Structure formats: C-alpha cells, structure tokens
C-alpha cells in the first residue's frame, strides 16, 4: 500500500487516508487566455512513465493539501512537500537525480 508523509501534520498516512488530486504545478489560466493555454491547463497532462509530481489531500486526517514526488512505475516516493510553492524543493530534486540522472518533468530537472 502506498504511504505518504503528510508535511502538514507529520503523519505517515496510508493511501486510504488520502485523496489523490492529480498533477501538481499546473499553471492556471482563466478568462482572456488563449485556447491553447486553457485547453492545456484543463485537460493536457504529463502522464509520465516514471517521475511524477502530484497533489494529494490528507482527507481523513488534517484535511490539508500537499504535494508529492513519486515514481509511477515503482511507486517509490521521493518525498512530500508543502503545496505553497511553485516548484519542488532542492532536496526532492536531488533525491530524484540520485535515482534517475538526467530526468526532467516539464520545466523541472
């Protein structure tokens, strides 16, 4: 079973305690944006086979949102971090690089 450390309350939570929230670090586009940007924001997803950044909510716990870096093939978790950020913190990027030299995910590497 997938377990994630909630960075908000510090609980190592089982996946039954968590609600998945899809891809993280989406740039939001609203009225006035181009069709391309709006479609990209609403529907297009990275869906990588490997490193993935995603949103989770500690639904049956503290109720707060946080972000996680996880491998979609091995289910290895590289770390969880606060949702109040626009890019993954350095120690998470380093943990991924140690396992997958040369990885990239959208503009992150």
CB of 94 to another protein, least distance (A): 23
Kindly identify the residues of this chain, within the stretch 23-62, that bind another protein according to CB under 8 A.
23, 35-36, 39-40, 42-49, 52, 54
Burial call 33-53: b when 16+ CB within 10 Å, e when fewer? eeeeeeeeeeeeeeebeebbb
Instruction: Map residue 36 onto helix, strand or coil.
Output: helix
Q: Which of 9, 15, 27, 94 binds another protein (CB under 8 A)?
A: 15
Choice between 58 and 90, CB closer to another protein: 58
Contact 103, 71 (CB under 8 A): no
- Report if residue 109 touches another protein, rule: CB under 8 A: no
């Amino acid at each position: 079973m997938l377990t994630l450390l909630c960075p908000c309350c510090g609980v190592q939570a089982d996946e039954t305690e968590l609600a998945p929230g899809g891809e993280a670090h989406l740039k939001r586009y609203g009225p006035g944006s181009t069709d391309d940007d709006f479609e990209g924001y609403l529907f297009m997803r990275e869906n990588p086979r490997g490193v993935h950044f995603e949103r989770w909510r500690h639904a049956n716990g503290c109720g707060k949102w946080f972000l996680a870096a996880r491998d979609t093939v091995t289910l290895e978790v590289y770390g969880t971090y606060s949702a109040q950020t626009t890019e993954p913190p350095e120690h998470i990027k380093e943990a991924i690089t140690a396992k997958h030299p040369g990885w990239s995910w959208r503009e992150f590497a």
